[in-house]
Amino acid sequence: MEQQISAGISRTIQTRLVLPPDTNHMGTIFGGTVLAYIDEIAAITAMKHSGKVVVTASIDTVNFLSSARIGNVLILEGVVISTGRTSMEVYVKAECQDIATRERTLTTTAILTMVAVAENGKPTPVYGVIPETEKEQHLFKNAQARKERRMKLNEFAKELI
């Protein structure tokens, strides 16, 4: 049986201040900026889990639920929710916090697949994951369905080429 480690080992939290260069003409953060932050925290999360360098294989889902504005604090949290032989699914959520009221609002959720790579650039095995929270357990249980959906989408994309 493969070695498994707790999801808590990978849990990563980043905090960022939303500044004017990060925002559009409406004073809200660019979606592309949020995506870059999500990709970065997913990579750090997967590297903490695997102890290896990783690359992004897919961004499975991204849900923009609300916007962060100039002056808000953006809080991103990532955790490994399932693993394959060389891949890790990472769940990321982003919340914005109003400094004055301390109120937090969920802004974005995403699931990314990261692949661990060896020094030769080839995929390398990773540890399994043991989900801890109820949310992690739910996401873990649905991992196979997400994987099948990704594979179908990949096949569809190949047919378009």
What does residue 61 show for φ and ψ, rounded to 5 degrees?
A: -145, 145
Give the integer Cα–Cα distance in Å for 97 and 74: 6
**Pairing, β 73-83 against β 87-97:** antiparallel
User: Which pLDDT does position 20 carry in this prediction?
Assistant: 96
pLDDT over threshold 60, residue 113: yes
**DSSP H or E run through 157:** helix 143-160
Residue 1 binned pLDDT confidence (cut-offs 50, 70, 90): very low
Residue 161 binned pLDDT confidence (cut-offs 50, 70, 90): confident
The tens digit of pLDDT for each residue in 49-69 reads 999 999 999 998 899 999 999
Range of the domain at 41: 4-160
User: Which pLDDT does position 160 carry in this prediction?
Assistant: 80
User: Which pLDDT does position 155 carry in this prediction?
Assistant: 83
Residue 11 binned pLDDT confidence (cut-offs 50, 70, 90): very high
Q: 111: phi > 0 → left, psi -120 to 50 → alpha, else beta; which?
A: beta
User: Which pLDDT does position 124 carry in this prediction?
Assistant: 97
Residue 144 binned pLDDT confidence (cut-offs 50, 70, 90): confident
Average pLDDT, the chain: 94
User: Which pLDDT does position 148 carry in this prediction?
Assistant: 86
CATH of the domain at 21: 3.10.129.10
Domains of the chain: total: 1
| pLDDT, mean of residues 126-148 | 91
The rounded percent of the chain whose pLDDT value lies above 70 is: 99
| pLDDT, mean of residues 93-109 | 97
User: Which pLDDT does position 83 carry in this prediction?
Assistant: 96
